[in-house]
Structure 1
Amino acid sequence: MSKIIISCAITGSIHTPSMSPFLPLTAAAITEQAIGAAEAGAAILHLHARNPETGRPSALVEHYMGFLPAIKAQTDAVINLTTGGSAVMTIEDRLAGPMAAEPEMCSLNMGTMNFALYPMLAKRTEWLHDWEEPFLRNSDDMVFKNTPRDIETILTRMGQDRGARFEFECYDVGHLYMLAHFADRGLITAPLFIQFVMGVLGGIAAEPEHLAHLKLTADTLFGDDYTFSVLAAGRQQMAMAKLGAAIGGHVRVGLEDNLYIAQGQLAKSNAEQVELVRGIVEDIGRVVATPDEARVMLGLKGKQEVAF
């Protein structure tokens, strides 16, 4: 098996400030935790922006630029920016930061889907900010919109125009067929880096048999032209990472996907999760890839070709 790429999703747009005091929200905190994750072994840092005053997901270029130059200056890790932003943002908002930054990589959700977060309400009765509870409660009527037109827009603006390659986020089997559709149209080229996203309410569950089906489907559609990574949102994070690594995949961890390091125990940092998953994958004989090795494996344009 090839070297394994560890990705770390530092803050995301799903968890709210009241859920963990360790969730990074300010530019300084995002920078510190991103650097820590890289030092622990993460070759790729997946990044969202937050409003530092409220902790709310942000699309403002100034919030991205509050941490991107500092992370680039202090680590060689590949910076991977979200094009998903938050389900309540327009596509123009979602692309504002990535278009300005021109990163080596972007994430790309391969379909429109329900994105239900309201079960998280059961764990919390007090809130630090007035936006948190309504945001979660109203997610029972929330759709993350990424139509074929949206996907083509992102592939064009970020890929063809700015040279980014993609972490193709596939939350269900149908997303793999949408990815194959765009490959058939010539809008994406190998090597494909597919992220099997499991455990989000609205997508495929984090179960071993589902991972096997996702991989079999991808093998059928893409042959040797792809590599895959596995993330599981929530409590199955490490178990599914171990399984993904054992069958030849890469792995993603981070506080975007899971706030905990063990049952009932909040992770104190992203680095803590990276250290744990690194030990897991090394115990099964995998060797962790450096950022430059990841760049070669994924065909990235290079750290010096970004705009921050």
Structure 2
Amino acid sequence: MRAPRDKVIITCAVTGNLTTPDQTPYLPITPQQIADSCLGAADAGAAVVHIHVRDPATGRPSMALEYYQEVVERIRAKNPELILNITTGPGGRFVPSADDPKVAAAGTTLMVPEKRVEHVTALKPDICTLDLNTMNSGKEVVINTPGNVRRMAKVIAEAGVKPEIELFDSGDIALMNDLLKDGTLKGPILCSFVMGVRYGFQPAPETVIYARNLLPPDAEFTAIGIGRAAFSSVAQSYLAGGHVRVGLEDGVYISRGKLAASNAEMVTKARRLVEDLGGEIASFAEARRIVGLAPYSATRAA
């Protein structure tokens, strides 16, 4: 059994790729809005920001390198100590055609694994996510085969970036443990349990404990709650010995029926929850040490 941590890392996932502007007018869309939202979250107590980008004209998810580059440059110009965690999740969705299921229909985003991580090679963030889920997602399917995951992991390692392993169900943890055994991944592992996606882990204290107990003893983990489970999962993750994550990627409400006005507001509430339970929030430097990142230096930022 793990006791609650002395220092807890808050990650803020500021925009994601599933939350829509129709759900909340406060969703950051443009690179400047995304960067500003990351900086505001850091001021409120987040040591890590999880970054997706969007097409500024449409608000739809994007993988365009120039948008990522602008976000990263804007953040590093103002707060180079903030830990940047960039997604590699997009590019794994398959929509089967109704008449011929082996043929992709509109909405399919499948691409070769190396293409999904080329922005990581170009920008070299501190962390990037690596999804292990192959699962139903709404009426579609997300596909991350073991072979493709290994190809992505190789590029991430060569870029010198720390992977955060995103786990959507217990089979993903089994795959992660196999990847550790064969040397594809190196421990101590950094990972997260994504709870609340309809056909994956469901948010509950029992889920957090079960998933945690499948991990290597030295793993660092965060239990993430989607939608109405966002803030209850903060408490559950902390009490189980993990870190915490909130943000407009995961949920849009600060309380029942009230939209969060910003990512910073969500971080402030998460911080209060952790501190009220007796925890302390990790600084940028403490977070780097906990997850095994090199200390920030002006040389690296230059």
TM-score by length of 2: 0.88
After superposition, residues 114-125 of structure 1 pair within 5 angstroms as: 114-116=136-138
Give the drift of 1:11.
Answer: 0.5
- SS at the partner of 1:235? helix
2:246 and 2:234 map into 1 onto residues whose CA distance is: 8
Letter in 2 for 1:114: N
1:22 and 1:111 map into 2 onto residues whose CA distance is: 29
1:34–1:71: 8 Å Cα contact kept in structure 2?
yes
2:86–2:125: 8 Å Cα contact kept in structure 1?
yes
Alignment match of 2:52 (pick from 48, 52, 65): 48
Alignment match of 2:159 (pick from 142, 157, 162): 162
1:164–1:300: 8 Å Cα contact kept in structure 2?
no
After superposition, residues 214-293 of structure 1 pair within 5 angstroms as: 214-218=211-215, 222-223=216-217, 225-293=218-286
- SS at the partner of 1:83? coil
- SS at the partner of 2:22? helix
Q: Indicate the percent of aligned positions where both proteins have the same amino acid.
A: 37
Distance verdict in 2 for CA 1:295–1:212, change over 3 Å:
same
Q: How many residues align?
A: 279
1:111–1:178: 8 Å Cα contact kept in structure 2?
no
- Residue 198 (1) aligns with residue 203 (2): no
Structure 1 residue aligned with 2:173: 176
2:114–2:151: 8 Å Cα contact kept in structure 1?
no
Give the drift of 1:196.
Answer: 1.0
Distance verdict in 2 for CA 1:294–1:247, change over 3 Å:
same
1:163–1:301: 8 Å Cα contact kept in structure 2?
no
What are the superposed Cα offsets for residues 129-185 of structure 1, whole Å, 9 maximum, x if unpaired?
xxxxxxxxxxx1x111211112111110012x1111111111111111100000000
Structure 1 gaps of 5+ residues are: 117-139
2:47–2:283: 8 Å Cα contact kept in structure 1?
yes
TM-score by length of 1: 0.86
2:285–2:296: 8 Å Cα contact kept in structure 1?
no
Give the drift of 1:99.
Answer: 2.2
- SS at the partner of 2:120? helix
After the TM superposition, which parts of structure 1 deviate over 3 Å for at least 4 consecutive aligned residues?
A: 301-308
Letter in 2 for 1:73: A
Letter in 2 for 1:210: T
Structure 2 residue aligned with 1:36: 40
Letter in 1 for 2:154: T
1:49 and 1:93 map into 2 onto residues whose CA distance is: 16
Alignment match of 1:85 (pick from 81, 90, 107): 90
What are the superposed Cα offsets for residues 3-43 of structure 1, whole Å, 9 maximum, x if unpaired?
10000101000111221110000011101110000010101
RMSD value, Cα: 1.7
- SS at the partner of 2:273? helix
